[in-house]
Chains A and B, each alone.
Chain A
Amino acid sequence: MAMTTTASAKRYSNSTYRTIRRARTFGLYVGVAAVLVYMLFPYYWAIVSSTRSGQALYQFSLAPSLDFSNYWQLFHNPVFMGALINSGLVAFASTMISLVIGILAAYALGRLHFSPGRIILIAVLMISIFPQVVVLSGMFEVIGWLGLYNRPSALIVSYLILTLPFTTWILTSFIRDLPTELEEAALIDGCSRLRVLTHVLLPLMGPAIASTGLLSFILAWNEFLFALTFILTDENRTVPVAIGLLTGSSRYEYPFGQIMAASVTVTLPLLVLVLIFQRKIVAGLTSGAVKG
């Protein structure tokens, strides 16, 4: 708004100028409202549909009903509840492993003057653009060797290919931005590198670790291809696959009410976390990308 033109202010009379400005502000809010409707309405409609069953599901009304039978059925469905637990465990475990490995690596890449560091960083970036399908056959074999086939822990291992490059990259760019004075003082006092990392840097990295961890959790929680391929039985599935495979007995008997209830349930915890951490998430997503 600060940039509304001084040049045009000279050309127009005061009242015309005011009208133009009002029209512009009005246009801005209409635009913002349109963006919000476009981005949010589908999720709202999923919530509305999830609270309807039977004939009510096919009615054209924007208000939610208060029929929670879809949710009731869902939460009494052991397969879906199991999938929720599996998803949570898998996403949490692979995030934790990635954070620990990523923090160690980020310190070496961001702080120690280490010449092969650049090559390693580029290799890490290249791994993050691998099409997942290209490691599928090899990963199949690795999981077989580890004896993890059809176990949720197979996903913890395989998700590292998604989460590790990501955490390493973002944490490295974060560590580079931290001031070096504190560490230097600690090093002169005779602290070991590991101690410097855990006692000086780590406390400063809290926000970065939280946002990186959350993004990596979302990445793992939403993954579909590996979860579909490495898990064979329903009770070991994750939720995206459970929702992806949920079908009715025929094309016209899709249990859409239940699918919507499952969709809302799976997305809600993510949305709450995203809204709480949104500032940091945006910083995490854009750091490195735009600065570099």
Chain B
Amino acid sequence: MSAAERMRRQQNRTAWLFLLPLIIALVGVAIWPLARSIFFSFTDAFLDAPANYGFVGIDNFITVAEDPVFWRAVKNTLFFTVISVGLETLLGLAIALLLHRAFVGRGVVRAAILVPWAMPMVVSTRIWEWMLNDQFGLVNKLFVTLGLVEKGIAWTAEPSLILYTVIFIDVWVTTPFMVLLILAGLQLIPEEIYEAAEVSGVPHWKRFWSITLPLAMPAIGVAMLFRTLDALRMFDLSYVLAANNENTMTMSIYARDQLISFQDLGLGSAASTWVFMIIGLIAILIVGVLRLDRTTG
């Protein structure tokens, strides 16, 4: 055995040793629980006696797929994801462009916009719930004072409004994250390109379309991917605002309901496996689209 070979082997052994705690921990809290969830989805186990089960094949998957409430939850989640990630991206881009310019106190402003992001989602939900309260909320008081409406709107109770309220709160909470990632992307664009464009008299809007946007696109794409995957598993905002209201129920709330509220371990696991497959499929699609973009562009 050559000395180089021996060194390589030794390095490999060291690497495995350093990685061992990570592997053990992740198998324990992620891979094994995932495998067990999938396993339980083929059984009729209940949560109070999980050891007592029989195999039922794909019955649970069919039961979930035949439940209109599940599809309602899927529809809510997809609608929520598309609209809120879309709005967050536009708003995030606008704010990032604004904060990218030089002005007095820029550092302080950039720090200040982290506030909504650092709060627990539950807290943000509660604050907006209070501000949007139909009788005593600030927003309705403002609207009534301005004469826009005659009496307060029940933003968090009206079935046709509540999902939009959820989207509105989510946009407020997560826009800072978008702003930060897009700002970081903007900062990587070399100043010289703008100087050259300026000298050749390229107008402002065209500089935005043909320089800023394409060059910031990778950062925007990554930010959108993160946010999309996050929005698809949303739980706390809808749960705190409306618990099991079918108008805002997300896929995660549906799955947890089956598992915890109805104690149905088999059915709940099948529901969460559905959620996993749906999110996995969307993730693969998005990554595929991003790749495609990169190779053709």
Contact = CB atoms under 8 A, between A and B. Distances in A.
Interface string B153-182: 000000000000000000010011100110
B3 interface: no
10 contacts: A42-B127, A120-B19, A132-B233, A133-B256, A136-B268, A137-B259, A138-B37, A224-B239, A241-B122, A282-B184
B133 to A, nearest CB: 7
Interface string A39-67: 11011011001000000011010000000
A132 B252 contact: yes
Interface stretch (B63-71, B79-87, B222-230): B222-230
A10 to B, nearest CB: 10
A278 B114 contact: yes
Nearest to A6: B198
Main secondary structure of the interface of B (DSSP, over half): helix
A9 B227 CA distance: 42
Contacts of B276: 130-131, 134
Q: Identify which of A104, A131, A165 gathers the most chain B CB atoms within 10 Å of its CB.
A: A131
Interface string A97-111: 100111011011100
B218 to A, nearest CB: 7
Nearest to B188: A290
Given A138-B34, A267-B119, A129 B283 contact: yes
Contacts of B109: 32, 35-36
Contact of A39 (B16, B116, B226): B116
Given A25-B103, A132-B233, A289-B226, 4 more contacts: A142-B29, A222-B120, A244-B240, A271-B115
A225 B255 CA distance: 12
Contacts of A132: 233, 235, 252
Contact of A107 (B18, B29, B35, B226): B18
Nearest to B97: A31
A164 B63 CA distance: 35
Nearest to A256: B130
A42 to B, nearest CB: 5
Given A104-B19, A137-B259, A225-B256, A274 B240 contact: no
B131 interface: yes
B78 interface: no
Given A105-B22, A134-B37, A158-B29, A244 B239 contact: yes
B26 A164 contact: yes
A89 interface: no
Nearest to B204: A5
A22 B198 CA distance: 20
Contacts of A239: 120
A142 B268 CA distance: 17
B101 interface: yes
B194 A290 contact: no
Contacts of A31: 98
Interface string B111-133: 11111101111111111101101
Main secondary structure of the interface of A (DSSP, over half): helix
B55 interface: no
Given A2-B102, A290-B188, A129 B128 contact: no
A129 B98 CA distance: 31
Contacts of A40: 112, 115
Q: Kindly state the interface size class of chain A when it binds its partner.
A: 35 or more
A35 B99 contact: yes
Contacts of B128: 42
Interface stretch (A73-81, A176-184, A204-212, A258-266): A258-266
In the complex, the 3 A-B pairs of residues with the closest C-beta atoms, listed nearest first = A138-B33, A138-B36, A131-B233
A138 B32 contact: yes
A168 interface: yes
A281 B110 CA distance: 11
Contact of B136 (A57, A139, A271): A57
Nearest to A229: B260
Contacts of A260: 126-127, 130
A243 interface: yes
A117 B123 CA distance: 39
A132 B29 CA distance: 11
Given A112-B14, A137-B272, A222-B121, A39 B255 contact: no
A134 B127 contact: no
Contacts of A140: 47, 50, 259
A243 B131 contact: no
A265 to B, nearest CB: 10
B98 A133 contact: no
A46 B22 contact: no
B148 interface: no
A286 B184 contact: yes
Given A32-B109, A42-B131, A274 B114 contact: yes
Contacts of A252: 135
B7 to A, nearest CB: 10
Q: Identify which of B12, B101, B131 gathers the most chain A CB atoms within 10 Å of its CB.
A: B101
A152 interface: no
Interface in A219-256: 221-222, 224-225, 228-229, 239-241, 243-244, 252, 254, 256
B249 interface: no
A39 B256 contact: no
B143 to A, nearest CB: 12
A160 B121 contact: no
A136 B255 contact: yes
Contacts of B199: 6-7
